[in-house]
Structure 1
Amino acid sequence: MGHHLKVLLEPTGLDADLNEVESTIQLNVRRYAEKVLRPIGRELDRMTPEQVVAADSPLWKVFSEYDKLGLSPADLAELPPAERARLTGLVFEELGWGDGGLAIAIGAAMVPTIVLAHMERFDLIERYAERTLGCWGITEPDHGTDMLDVSGHTRQPGAKIGRLNCYARVDGDSLVINGQKSAWVSNGPTASICILFCGYDDGSGEDKRCVVLVPLDLPGVSRGAPLDKMGQRGLPQGELYFDNVRLPIDHLVAAPEDYLKAEYGVLVEANSLMGITWTGAARAAYELAYDYAHERKQGGVPIIQHQNVRYRLFHMFRSVEASRALCNRAALYNAVAPKAALQGSIAAKITGTQTAFDVASAAIQMHGGNGVTREYQVEKLLRDARASMIEDGCNEMLAIKGGSLIARD
């Protein structure tokens, strides 16, 4: 009685207006996420960091199979802005649903192309079109999230950032790079090309920044050991070292006067992708809890029959829907507005990652003791989600920057 009032929703919930193309792509990416990302993600999670980046690692299948979907940055760039924003959200939610860490590996691989397109350096996009596995070199051993804030929104009044760990200088018609980037460079151990955000040494001693495109097979480039970490173990991360690396001056993507434009643009894109990716991971945790609640029996009945279990599942559902709505709304606004609102992307990033962690934690609680064993997927989801609140800018620092962006003074 009353069952006729129920509406059974699709996995992505209250999506009422997907067209045929969007629905087809969504299903294709979901199939890839289920058949490729999930099993490979579980396999990589149990491997050493060195095994993850080895030549015979299943990691490489993640990229080769993704390429078959025809969803590269160049493919997406051909779409009108609003369509591109909608489709990117659909794609990265499914990737995050499959495996959050591997979704970040796919997203990080695209960052050089995203930055080059934002700075209208289509000549470099064409020149390096075959180097599809990229990375974003920004954080340093002595500088973390503050590297994302050259405008100084998050600094104490009067405080200075201090000397950076990596600099580029002009030498005739060449750029010369020296220094290092931290162990948190996503795809650092595997990428063939890097979009490098670093200091600009013109001899003035002033804090100036620039952006340089660096092929990682140049003399003087070396890499640290892949990072051994708690979660997102399928995402290779590691240091990059530059010892008198020399490259043509046309690889200077943003000089100091253009640096803020590059920083702002990449943050808008990266934070937006983080938000919807981890919304997908939150959805995965919710679905696992939902299925378990229908299978697990306690008190003589499946635990879904207990009111408190239904109560908790509803709040997980509500959180995922709210996160998706914010992430997609911010992405759409930034795609069509005369100027993107970074505070919207920051809100999406913080909401999506916090939702992933909260829902994964609630899913573990619903699994009881089983939830903390490696036999069940929710344990890995929680570990993966925990790192998301730090990567691409820790949420606390981003919130300070977002608050500064909405303040009137």
Structure 2
Amino acid sequence: MSTPHEVPLPVVGISGFDAGLSEDELAVQQAVHRFAQDVMRPIGRELDRMPSEEAFLPGSPFWQFHKQIQALGLGPEAMAGLPPDQAARMEGLVFQELAWGDAGLATSFGAGAMPMLMAQASGQQELIDLCEGRLGCWAATQPDRGSDGLILYKPERYPGSKGNKGNLQATFVGDEIIINGQTSAWVSNGAVAQVALLDIVADYGTGFFDAQGSTYGCNIIVPLDLKGISRGKPLEKLGKRALPQGETYFDSVRVPRRFAIATQDDYDIKHAYAWAHAGTAMSHLAAGLSRAAFELALAYVHERKQGGAMLAEHQLTQYRLGGIGMKVEAIKAMARHVAHFTKCAPRPHPYFTASGKAFCNSEMMTVVRESLQLFGGMGLTRELPIEKLLRDAQAMQIEDGENNILQAHYGYLLSQLHLQEGFGRH
């Protein structure tokens, strides 16, 4: 209770200084938070300590997670009937709580829904049925085609260079598509997915390049049990070890042409749409992981004595808590802003989405490092979960586009808006 003339403390919720959530939003947030705490955190810790070759075998905790999250009904169909602004808010609430639980498992869930998301956008019932009940992946990166695959405009390429056609290519022949090559080892769910959304270059009969040296592209939904498809081993890596990543190989794999949901005439627009919508999730994931690290540090400084008092009683600690707490709120705000623009703007753009990913993930890294620093030496031990969050956060600096490359894309967009639309002239 507050004494007379004392200002009462503010009312805060699960995710901090949030207000104005509807009853439905609060109910979803609370349900997902319980799932994140009771299911995701224990499974994420268990998978983090397992060898990758064992972590994703049938019957492992990874598959238990996917079975249980399916029962929650959080897939693309759950958002399908909501107005865009409400969908943006709900998406943020869900993904932030999932990442608060475990960022690797949250990414697996999000990437797993990509084929279904694009199948629904295509309106083709055959493709929707093909994705139903199957764990998906979004295969866009290859061994020598990573962040450069995100270049949308010719002037961004190195002068005189062509677009990168990469290691995985589609050839359109009559009513069939023939696929050859391999994905990179960094495709989320790539080691275990049952259906893929391929985002790759294509030859429609005149080669892979247009007159300006840019590649033709396509989006294809491909079941991954077809003849000619094989897998590499799940990757052993530093962070996000609960997320199975690995190569997929295609040797003259044939699918019907109707499995393509974006081809020569509409690929660029649909590619941009898919990237813009997928990229918002990375901002929400950063918000959730940042909050998890901050909350661990906040609890620890109220348990640990140093210099004759609790750490939390020292002004320097309070100053540091204030700094990382402000960053957590800024990350949340940026993530929601990007999601709202992407869902509601007349013409969303992936380079603006990229700015959100780069900002939120860079600031998240600062939050997690400073949170670990407040633990002192204990933060480095595997007894406490904070060191895992640091490893997961490091992986997210590169995942879904390396942050500096994405920031450069955003700078290019701002320049073009100024030159072509007059943005910033007044």
**TM-score where L is the length of structure 1:** 0.96
| Equivalent of residue 180 in structure 1, options 182, 199, 206 | 182
Deviation at 1:153, TM superposition (A): 5.7
Q: Does 1:404 align with 2:407?
A: no
Question: What is residue 102 of structure 2 aligned with on the other side?
Answer: 99
Between the aligned partners of 1:191 and 1:327, the Cα distance in structure 2 is 28
Counterpart amino acid of residue 156 in structure 1: Y
Deviation at 1:7, TM superposition (A): 2.3
Question: What is residue 260 of structure 2 aligned with on the other side?
Answer: 252
Q: Does 1:60 align with 2:63?
A: yes
Question: What is residue 292 of structure 1 aligned with on the other side?
Answer: 300
Identity %, equivalent residues: 41
SS in 2 for 1:54: coil
Between the aligned partners of 2:114 and 2:90, the Cα distance in structure 1 is 17
CA deviations over 1:230-281 (Å, ceiling 9, x no partner): 0000100000110010111100111122111122111111211000111100
Between the aligned partners of 1:146 and 1:83, the Cα distance in structure 2 is 33
| Equivalent of residue 45 in structure 2, options 35, 42, 45 | 42
| Equivalent of residue 191 in structure 1, options 190, 193, 218 | 193
Q: Does 1:28 align with 2:31?
A: yes
SS in 1 for 2:246: coil
- CA-based RMSD: 1.6
Q: Does 1:85 align with 2:93?
A: no
Runs of 4+ aligned structure 1 residues displaced above 3 Å come to 1-5
Between the aligned partners of 2:326 and 2:126, the Cα distance in structure 1 is 44
Between the aligned partners of 1:126 and 1:155, the Cα distance in structure 2 is 36
Between the aligned partners of 2:234 and 2:397, the Cα distance in structure 1 is 21
Between the aligned partners of 1:173 and 1:222, the Cα distance in structure 2 is 24
Question: What is residue 397 of structure 2 aligned with on the other side?
Answer: 389
The answer (yes or no) to whether the contact 2:397–2:403 under 8 Å persists in 1 is yes
Question: What is residue 355 of structure 1 aligned with on the other side?
Answer: 363
Which runs of structure 2 are paired with 1:8-407 in the superposition (5 Å)?
Answer: 9-118=12-121, 120-152=122-154, 154-205=156-207, 206=209, 207-407=215-415
Between the aligned partners of 1:378 and 1:3, the Cα distance in structure 2 is 36
Counterpart amino acid of residue 178 in structure 1: N
The answer (yes or no) to whether the contact 2:199–2:217 under 8 Å persists in 1 is yes
SS in 1 for 2:169: strand
CA deviations over 1:344-394 (Å, ceiling 9, x no partner): 311221122112211110011000000011111110000000010101111
The answer (yes or no) to whether the contact 1:146–1:154 under 8 Å persists in 2 is no
Counterpart amino acid of residue 304 in structure 1: A
The answer (yes or no) to whether the contact 1:272–1:330 under 8 Å persists in 2 is yes
Deviation at 1:338, TM superposition (A): 1.3
Deviation at 1:8, TM superposition (A): 5.0
Deviation at 1:10, TM superposition (A): 2.0
The more displaced of 340-349 and 225-234 is: 340-349
SS in 2 for 1:56: coil
SS in 2 for 1:351: helix
Between the aligned partners of 1:154 and 1:390, the Cα distance in structure 2 is 20
CA deviations over 1:18-38 (Å, ceiling 9, x no partner): 010000000000000001110
Between the aligned partners of 1:257 and 1:144, the Cα distance in structure 2 is 23
Between the aligned partners of 2:340 and 2:247, the Cα distance in structure 1 is 34
Between the aligned partners of 1:340 and 1:304, the Cα distance in structure 2 is 43
Question: Across the two proteins, how many residue pairs are aligned to each other?
Answer: 408
The answer (yes or no) to whether the contact 1:189–1:224 under 8 Å persists in 2 is yes
SS in 2 for 1:37: helix
Between the aligned partners of 1:353 and 1:4, the Cα distance in structure 2 is 35
Deviation at 1:107, TM superposition (A): 0.5
Between the aligned partners of 1:406 and 1:193, the Cα distance in structure 2 is 37
Between the aligned partners of 2:126 and 2:33, the Cα distance in structure 1 is 32
Change (3 A) 1:248 1:255: same
SS in 2 for 1:234: coil
Between the aligned partners of 2:61 and 2:140, the Cα distance in structure 1 is 27
SS in 2 for 1:128: helix
Counterpart amino acid of residue 12 in structure 2: L
Change (3 A) 1:284 1:152: farther
Counterpart amino acid of residue 196 in structure 2: C
Query: Which ranges in structure 1 are unaligned for 5 or more consecutive residues?
Result: none
The answer (yes or no) to whether the contact 1:169–1:200 under 8 Å persists in 2 is yes
Query: Which ranges in structure 2 are unaligned for 5 or more consecutive residues?
Result: 210-214, 420-426
Choose between structure 1 and 2 for higher RCO, CA contacts under 8 A separated by at least 6 residues: 1
Deviation at 1:155, TM superposition (A): 2.1
